[in-house]
Amino acid sequence: MWAYVLRRLLLMIPTLLGVLIITFAVTQFVPGGPVEQMVSQLKSGGAVGGGESAASGGAGYRGRQGVDRAQVEEIKKLYGFDKPPLERFVQMLVSFARFDLGKSFYHHKDVWELVKEKLPVSISLGLWTFFLSYLISVPLGIAKAVRAGSRFDAITSLFVLVGYAIPGFVLGVALLVLFGGGSFLAWFPLRGLTSSNWHDLSLGAKVVDYLWHIALPVTASVLGSFAVLTMLTKNSFLEEIRKQYVLTARAKGLGERSVLWKHVFRNALIPLITGFPAAFIGAFFTGSLLIETLFSLDGLGLLSYESVIRRDYPVVLGTLYLFTLIGLVTKLIGDLCYVWVDPRVKFD
């Protein structure tokens, strides 16, 4: 096992390098970078320095005419673009090896600080989505497998697949119109995770206020994830129920409940358990851009989108490195879970 783990850890190095090389190369050819944005701001009479006007200036970039060459070189030096691309890439790799993710061009903060600031929002949205999906989908999938072909199975399949077919952001818009003070009812707030006076509330009132704010975005996020988990659980249980050992257990006189929970349950949950680590860790670091934008939730999804639009390369590359590394480690843990759940699986 340890030899297998070591091989997988060593394979992470070229994978990380490949991801970073491709992304870094793409950023060298994308127009409207931080230098061009600053030059555009200088042409329009703006102040030198990062900021929203500088970030948005790239859309109106018309070249470097009218800006002193020395100023352009100074701006390049300010953002580190005075060095050759290969030298900048090597410096970035050395920094990443020390887990120094760099400093944002736009926010003027370390990328680590930005991730920690945005993480609570993504954790709130991701963990609720994760737990509700598993807590509802697994029991529902088992019930569908036991009642396969019945009216209950057909009706629940219809609702689950309809929910899967509706995009989360479309459902979010509908929820806001219906219950968020749109054209009908004003039962839930339009934006944010908490009210403006949240710190002045009692502990019980804080919990209620938080749940009140998170209800609509979680509903919009979780509905689409029901279908995959529910149908995967159902199909896994159906496959196990039809195997010979189940028929043998029934022939020995074991009750249906005992057969289901003592014999079928562990084998049928192998696909779900092995995907559990990736889903759980992913809940901390994945952000739904459209849901976060729709409900004005300032999380990692919105940060990633804005960093690409603003050409904030340290944030783009730093978060990409962090999330890719976490994803590779989580994938390894998921593969090891196969052996933990099913000893028949061999590393050979």
Which amino acid, residue 83?
K
Q: Number of C-alpha atoms within 13 angstroms, CB side, residue 112?
A: 7
Identify the burial level of 252 via C-beta atoms within 10 angstroms of its C-beta, where 0-12 means exposed, 13-18 middle and 19 or more buried.
exposed
* Cα(62)–Cα(220) distance, integer angstroms: 41
CB neighbour list of residue 73: distance below 8 Å, 6 or more residues apart:
82
Identify the burial level of 22 via C-beta atoms within 10 angstroms of its C-beta, where 0-12 means exposed, 13-18 middle and 19 or more buried.
exposed
Tokens of 53: 């006007």
* Cα(41)–Cα(269) distance, integer angstroms: 57
Q: Which of 316, 322, 321, 291 is nearest to 304 (CA)?
A: 316
Q: What is the mean pLDDT of residues 47-73?
A: 52
Token pair 């970073």 in the structure block, residue? 20
pLDDT band at 47 (very low <50, low <70, confident <90, very high): very low
Range ranked top by mean pLDDT from 49-53, 196-200, 243-247:
243-247
* Cα(59)–Cα(37) distance, integer angstroms: 8
- Per-residue pLDDT for 203 more than 60? yes
* Cα(60)–Cα(38) distance, integer angstroms: 11
Q: What is the mean pLDDT of residues 320-341?
A: 82
Identify the burial level of 180 via C-beta atoms within 10 angstroms of its C-beta, where 0-12 means exposed, 13-18 middle and 19 or more buried.
buried
Instruction: Name which residue leads in pLDDT, 222 or 51.
Output: 222
Using alpha carbons only, give the angle 162, 166, 171 rounded to the nearest 5 degrees.
120
Q: Buried (b) or exposed (e) across 191-204, using 16+ Cβ within 10 A?
A: eebbbeeeeeeeee
pLDDT band at 173 (very low <50, low <70, confident <90, very high): confident
Q: Buried (b) or exposed (e) across 2-20, using 16+ Cβ within 10 A?
A: eeeeeebeeebeeebeebb
- Per-residue pLDDT for 85 more than 80? yes
**Count of C-beta atoms within a 10 Å radius of residue 148:** 14
Domain-by-domain residue ranges, the chain?
32-108, 112-341
Query: Would you give the distance in Å from CA 299 to the centre of its chain?
Result: 10
What is the CATH number that goes with domain 112-341? Answer: 1.10.3720.10
**Whether this model's pTM surpasses 0.85:** no
**Residue 283, pLDDT score:** 64
